[in-house]
Chain A
Amino acid sequence: MALIRLISLTVLICLALPAWSAGIELREFDDPVTEQRYRDLTASMRCPLCENQAIDDSDAPISADMRDRVYQLLNAGQSDTEIIHHMVQRFGDYVLYNPRLERRTYLLWGLPVGLLMVTGLVVALIVRARRHASTKALTSDEQARLKALIERKEAP
């Protein structure tokens, strides 16, 4: 099912892009922790131009700009939260792959947890009800049929 369109048709019609620059960037980091933070941040931000790609694996110019900015802010000593805020201020919540917990996302984060609890409750109720149910697996009618089946099978 994997027909890739790096840029949607709609974007091509309405928005043009500056010259294409595919990117493997050579960056120096002060320490491995900063490097890991850079990777995590760029992997969790969405390219605002592409169909559905993180800025760390998108060739779009805006992604390159955003990576540059993340790198600069990291070197300027900003925290992850500050960097995320910086991007949201400019590009909106749309660029966050990890939606922040706020009123409109309560359901998004809460429902799976709620579902898990409901599932547990339903399972518990079913087992409680079934514990005292008849332990006979088949009705007499079904047993007769099963017997017939077995006899037929064994016959010739």
Chain B
Amino acid sequence: MLMRILPEIGHFALIIALLMAVVQAVLPLAGAATRRPLWMAYAQPMATGQFVFVLLAYGCLTASYLMDDFSVVNVANNANSLLPWYYKLSAVWGNHEGSVLLWSLMLAGWGCVAAWWSRHLPRDMLARVLGVLGLISAGFLLFMLLTSNPFERHLLDIPADGADLNPLLQDIGLIVHPPMLYMGYVGFSVVFAFAIAALLGGRLDAAWTRWARPWTNAAWAFLTVGIALGSWWAYYELGWGGWWFWDPVENASLLPWLTGTALMHSLAVTEKRGSFKSWTVLLAIATFSLSLMGTFLVRSGVLTSVHAFANDPSRGLFILVLLAVTVTLSLVVFALRAPRVSHKVGFNWLSRDALLLINNGLLITMTMTVLLGTLYPLILDSLGLGKISVGPPYFNTLFVPLTVITCLFMGLGPAARWKTTSPGELLRRLWLAGLAALVLGALIPLVYRGEWNLWVTLGLSAALWIVLSLVRDLFDKLLHRRSVWAGLRALSLAYWGMVLGHLGVAVTIIGATVVSHYAVERNVRMSPDTRVEVAGYQFTLTELTDRRGPNYLADAAVIEVQRGDSQRRFLMQPEKRLYLATGMPMTQVALRPGLFRDLYVAMGEDLGDGSWAMRIQYKPFVRWLWLGGLLMALGAVLAVADKRYRQVRPARLAQEGKA
């Protein structure tokens, strides 16, 4: 009996969660404004309660999926009784309604963690932070209940079986990519809540930045991993070996990533030096606003993208209102409450302050470029100036130089001191790294390919410059220590976080440069015993077979691969699948991953005479793209673990002492 009303329980739990979110928003914010401790005290229990009820709703929907309850519209449209159980779990968020539920769950989860983790914060600050989070939660829960209810039922004509999950989504990449991305988007809501709370409470001090930094790093790490996973998924699942398409949906995730990166660096200046306070707060607001805007662009049908959700104008309108209210209100609060006179902290042309300022300037330029390129066709169209497209060639033309310029300053930043650095000293410390980067960057394409290439040299030199200047900095830091070990131990986790983060950028740039210029692709006709050579590897088709999977039929090929004259051989087995429920054909590529190269075989179509068209690709260094992303995320996490963020108690004591 209970099992049969699970969707109704879930629906009811969402309503209760909405009510709790409203209480969590209204009472603590009003309490903080009127100094009523009792009202403020509602914040924590409501945040916890909201999370529990959204979790309950999420559990109910998951159960409906696992039990093949096709009376639930959402289940009937996105699952099938033949679907393996793990894809049933991930199918929950493989659609619009379910993904909004996942989004809400994460929002409530972040709020709950914030409520308990930050319980040492001054009471009014905590009340405001949770209040703002409650407002956002209430908006999303209302959105779900009014326009995207995942628990809607088929009242009549309950289908005997479901329509099945889109085959492209039946994959490990899709199991992990959206949750990571959402964790990032949603995580920035906590930073946003801290920013608004600080503005409302007039508490834009060093303590504020210290509270906001770990949350920023955590959200940024999730977003980075999410974007990297999305790129990896597109690489092997779409069947063409591309890894970044400058698609509007990818751009929508890149925008908050860029401003989030700027925010991390700006927070560092604000914490260490007390300058740029207003700018930092504005970045925190902008980052979350761009996350919300991305959600709007992806789900409203305003943009054409291969990744967009099936759209519905009423949903688009609701998110637009949510976006407009959130952003406008927060910008008004910013305009009215931003510090009146900012304290002018002095620094010189060559100083870490100035370099971080340049970093922010460049990142904002990149953000605006992506935004411009994404929206420009829409603007022209609305002005009646015709339809144009803005795609990869445009973005690459602008992004490659911008990235190289950014790298130039990235090499200088860690080596420079706060306030002022003498040019002579910097030159003495870094000339060797700079020279080596240039020479190596120029030589590597010559040695590797026997042909010089300007773009490869630029990319490699930029990456090597980052790495070598980091190495030099480390060397200088260890030079004056008694032993290397003592020196290494003396360095803070925050420093190691920076090193890993920058190293990650360099690794990604190396991957992007090499794979863009040195990938090899060949389309070939293969029949049994055909042998083809690509980039020094011999591919021999040994067998063509049929296979039957749980919910698909497949033509499969077995290809034996051998490198040069080496005796080591391995098999690659690409497939061409036909999914039974949807009738959709899908290419399942065979991948042989490696740190320095991937081999990639995709099966085309039957050419009739017992031979098949195949696409064989050799992708050097492609793994470095995502490896770099992981390093960046790891760096951000290491920095969070730094001990100065664990000492929250004294801050509170000081606040109370002052009060």
Check A90 for interface membership: any CB of B closer than 8 A. Answer: no
Complex CA–CA separation, A8 to B305 (angstroms): 9
Taking CB atoms, residues of chain A closer than 8 Å to B654 are: 145, 148-149, 152
Tell whether B334 is near chain A: CB-to-CB under 8 Å.
no
Is B610 among interface residues, defined by CB-CB distance under 8 A?
no
Q: What residue of chain A has the Cβ atom nearest to residue B295's Cβ?
A: A1
Provided the pairs A5-B310, A111-B372, A123-B361 are in contact, do residues A152 and B653 lie with their beta carbons within 8 angstroms? Answer: yes
Docked pose: A6 CA to B586 CA in angstroms: 12
Inter-chain contacts of B343 with A (CB < 8 A): 139
- B613 at interface (Cβ–Cβ under 8 A)? yes
A93-B388, A132-B346 as given contacts; A24 in contact with B615, CB under 8 Å: yes
Whether B651 sits at the interface, judged by CB under 8 Å, is yes
B580 at the interface (CB under 8 A from A): no
A116 to chain B, nearest CB (A): 5
Listed stretches B324-332, B391-399, B436-444; interface member = B391-399
Residues A93 and B386 in contact in the complex (CB < 8 Å), given A24-B605, A116-B402: yes
* C-alpha gap A51/B302 in the complex (Å): 12
Interface residues of B in 155-210 (CB under 8 A from A): 166, 168-169, 174, 177-178, 181, 205-206
Contact B650 A52 (CB under 8 A): no
State whether A3 and B388 are in contact (beta carbons under 8 Å apart), knowing that A119-B361, A127-B348, A137-B274 are contacts in the complex: no
Asked if B346 and A135 sit within 8 Å, CB to CB, the answer is yes
Q: Which of B249, B376, B388 contacts A1 (CB 8 A)?
A: B249
Does residue B604 face the partner (Cβ distance < 8 Å to A)?
A: yes
Residues of A within 8 A of B240 (CB): 56-57
Known contacts A2-B230, A44-B392; is-contact A137 B354 (Cβ 8 Å): no
* B391 in complex: contacting residue of A21, A98, A126, CB < 8 Å: A98
- Inter-chain CA distance A135–B306, complex, in Å, is 53
* A1 CA / B365 CA spacing, docked (Å): 25
Are B304 and A51 in contact, with the CB atoms below 8 A?
yes
Cα A108 to Cα B397 with chains together (Å): 12
Are B349 and A127 within 8 A (Cβ)? yes
**B307, B346, B394, B402: the one within 8 Å of A134 (CB):** B346
On whether the beta carbons of B647 and A51 are closer than 8 Å, the reply is no
- Judging by beta carbons under 8 Å apart, are A4 and B168 in contact? yes
A120-B361 contact, Cβ under 8 Å, with A26-B523, A111-B368: yes
Minimum CB–CB distance from B317 to chain A (whole Å) comes to 18
The docked-state distance in angstroms from the alpha carbon of A24 to that of B252 is 31
Question: Shortest beta-carbon distance, A39 to chain B, in Å?
Answer: 8
Q: A44 to B376, alpha carbons, bound, how many Å?
A: 18
- Contact indicator per residue, chain B 69-94, by CB within 8 Å of chain A (1) or not (0): 00000000000000000000000001
Interface string of B374-412 (1 = CB under 8 A from A): 001000100001111111111001100010000000000
Q: Which residues of chain B have C-beta atoms less than 8 A from A50's C-beta?
A: 306
Interface presence of B234 (CB below 8 A) = yes
Within 8 A of B (CB), among A109-156: 111-112, 115-116, 119-120, 122-123, 126-127, 129-135, 137-139, 142, 145, 148-149, 152-153
| A27, A57, A99: residue with the most chain B Cβ atoms closer than 10 Å | A99
Closest to B174 in A: A2
Closest to B294 in A: A1
Q: B445 near A: Cβ within 8 Å?
A: no
Residue of A54, A130, A145, A149 near B347 (CB, 8 A) is A130
Q: Does chain A have a CB within 8 A of B602? A: yes
CB of B30 within 8 A of chain A? no
Q: Name the interface residues of B307-359: CB closer than 8 Å to any CB of A.
A: 307-310, 343-349, 353-354, 357-358
Q: How far is the CA of A67 from the CA of B307 in the complex (A)?
A: 23
A108 and B393 alpha carbons, distance in the complex (Å): 13
Contact check: which of A3, A54, A152 meets B650 at CB < 8 Å?
A: A152
How far apart sit A108 and B168, CA to CA, in the bound complex (Å)? 34
Known contacts A5-B308, A8-B304, A26-B523: does B387 contact A92 (CB below 8 Å)?
yes
In the complex, which residues of chain A have a beta carbon less than 8 angstroms from the beta carbon of B99? 1
Q: In the assembled complex, which residues on chain A have CB atoms less than 8 Å from the CB atom of B380?
A: 104
- Asked whether, in the complex, the Cβ of B274 is within 8 Å of the Cβ of A142, the reply is yes
A135 to B343, CA, bound (A): 11
Which chain B positions have C-beta within 8 A of A130?
275, 344-347, 353
Chain A contacts for B344, CB-based, 8 A:
129-130, 133-134
B611 to chain A, nearest CB (A): 10
Contacts of B386 in A (CB 8 A): 92-93, 104
Is A70 an interface residue when CB atoms closer than 8 A count as contact? no
B67 adjacent to chain A (CB < 8 Å): no
Given A22-B587, A57-B242, A119-B361: A3 touches B392 (CB 8 Å cut-off): no
A131 touches B523 (CB 8 A): no
Contact A98 B393 (CB under 8 A): yes
Q: Do A97 and B392 touch (CB < 8 A)?
A: yes
- The answer to whether A43 touches B392, judged by C-beta atoms less than 8 angstroms apart, is yes
Chain A residues within an 8 Å CB radius of B206: 142
Query: Complex: how many Å from CA A1 to CA B177?
Result: 8
Cross-interface CB contact of A123 among B233, B273, B357, B585, cutoff 8 Å: B357
The answer to the question of B268 belonging to the interface, with a C-beta cut-off of 8 Å to chain A, is no
In Å, the complex CA distance between A98 and B376 comes to 13
Taking a contact as CB atoms under 8 Å apart, the answer to whether A94 and B390 are in contact is no
Q: What are the interface flags for B595-617 relative to A under an 8 Å C-beta threshold, 1 for contact and 0 otherwise?
A: 00000001011000000011100
Question: If A2-B249, A130-B345 touch, does A115 touch B392 (CB 8 Å cutoff)?
Answer: no
B347 CB to nearest chain A CB (Å): 5
**Quick check: B398 and A112 within 8 Å, CB to CB?**
yes
66-99 of chain A: CB within 8 A of chain B: 92-99
Q: Does B49 contact A (CB under 8 A)?
A: no
B residues within 8 A CB of A149? 650-651, 654
Are the C-beta atoms of A3 and B94 separated by less than 8 Å? yes
- For residue B261, give the distance in angstroms from its CB to the closest CB of chain A: 15
A3 CA / B165 CA spacing, docked (Å): 10
**A-chain residues with CB within 8 Å of residue B647 when the two chains form the complex:** 153
B365 near A3 (CB under 8 angstroms)?
no
Known: A119-B364, A153-B650. 14 other contacts (CB 8 A): A2-B169, A3-B94, A4-B168, A24-B605, A24-B615, A51-B304, A93-B387, A104-B380, A112-B368, A116-B402, A127-B357, A137-B345, A149-B650, A152-B653
Question: Which 10 A/B pairs are nearest by Cβ-Cβ distance?
Answer: A97-B391, A24-B604, A98-B393, A133-B344, A119-B361, A133-B346, A24-B613, A57-B240, A112-B369, A135-B346
Which A residues lie at the B interface, using CB under 8 A?
A: 1-6, 8-9, 20-27, 39, 43-44, 46, 50-54, 56-57, 92-99, 104-105, 107-108, 111-112, 115-116, 119-120, 122-123, 126-127, 129-135, 137-139, 142, 145, 148-149, 152-153
Show 15 A/B contacts (Cβ-Cβ < 8 Å), sorted by A.
Answer: A2-B234, A3-B95, A3-B166, A3-B309, A22-B585, A57-B242, A99-B390, A104-B380, A107-B376, A115-B368, A119-B365, A123-B361, A127-B354, A130-B353, A131-B349
